[in-house]
Amino acid sequence: MRPARISAGLAAILGLTAMAMPALALRLPPVTHPATLKECSGCHMVFPPQMLPARSWTALMGDLANHFNESAALPPDVQADIVGYLTANAADAPANKAIRGLLSGVKATDVPLRITEMPWWKRSHGEVSPGRYALPQIKTASNCIACHRDGAKGVFTEN
Ligand code: HEC
Ligand code: HEC
């Protein structure tokens, strides 16, 4: 049973057009940066840099020894290479400001450390009942690829 899918299906049956529905797809360029792919995909999918502002990546990467109760510590040169890539491609990088809505609702002083704390993420997942994240095959909202099969390629559509 996939409640959010059913409601999207129901909306279609009711004749709501794509314009009346929130956009339910986001396609971002896949991560190709070698060090990021290598070091940031072992415990979860590699997250797209566009999903957080640069200051968030700087904060996360500045404390990898205390990374959500795990140690993801890296040698300084590798850490610097990755933070350079993530911040250059962050939500607030000039080329990405056109990507709709990713920064809306985020104050300049906010430093969100999770994508799942971002206002755009919460809006997009408003129809997902919180209990669904606890399902054994999902475990946590951070497990994007449990629901978005091609998430590691930057593709977040209805599967
Ligand atoms: C040793 C395992 C491990 C490695 C390696 C690792 N992470 Fe994580 N990461 C975690 C855990 C555990 C969480 C929290 C997941 C949860 O709450 O369910 C997390 C969460 C995150 C989140 C927040 C996800 C959300 O909930 O929105 C981001 C962003 C993140 N990691 C970035 C990175 C980056 C960038 C790297 C590479 C430098 C990296 N991680 C490497 C274990 C790891
Ligand atoms: C329990 C399943 C589940 C998990 C886990 C999940 N999502 Fe989603 N996501 C959905 C559903 C349901 C939607 C609504 C659209 C749809 O039906 O696909 C959605 C929508 C989206 C959208 C489209 C938003 C839009 O407005 O176009 C993006 C992007 C997205 N999710 C990213 C993520 C990311 C990143 C993660 C992990 C940090 C994640 N999701 C985790 C189920 C999930």
Residue count of the chain, please give it: 159
Q: Answer whether 150 contacts ligand 1 (Cβ < 6 A).
A: no
CA of 116 to the centre of ligand 2 (A): 10
The alpha carbon of 13 and the centre of ligand 1 are apart by a number of angstroms equal to: 39
Please tell me the distance between residue 131's alpha carbon and the centre of ligand 1 in angstroms. Answer: 21
Rg (CA), the chain: 17
Which pLDDT value is given to residue 157? 84
Distances (CA, A) of 82 to 13, 59, 70, 111, 125: 46, 13, 18, 18, 28
| Ligand that lies nearest to the alpha carbon of residue 69, given by its number in the listed order | 1
Pocket test for ligand 2, best of 46, 156, 157, 159 (most atoms within 8 A of CB): 156
pLDDT at 132: 96
The residue assigned the tokens 């290479």 is 81
Report how far ligand 2's centroid is from the alpha carbon of 119 (Å).
13
CB 47 within 8 A of CB 143: no
Q: Which two tokens stand for residue 1?
A: 């049973």
pLDDT values of the chain reduced to their tens digit, one per residue, 159 residues: 343 443 444 333 333 443 444 456 899 999 999 999 999 999 999 999 999 999 999 999 999 999 999 999 999 999 999 999 999 999 999 999 888 789 999 999 999 999 999 999 999 999 999 999 999 999 999 999 999 999 999 999 865
Q: Are strands 26-27 and 155-156 parallel, antiparallel or unpaired?
A: antiparallel
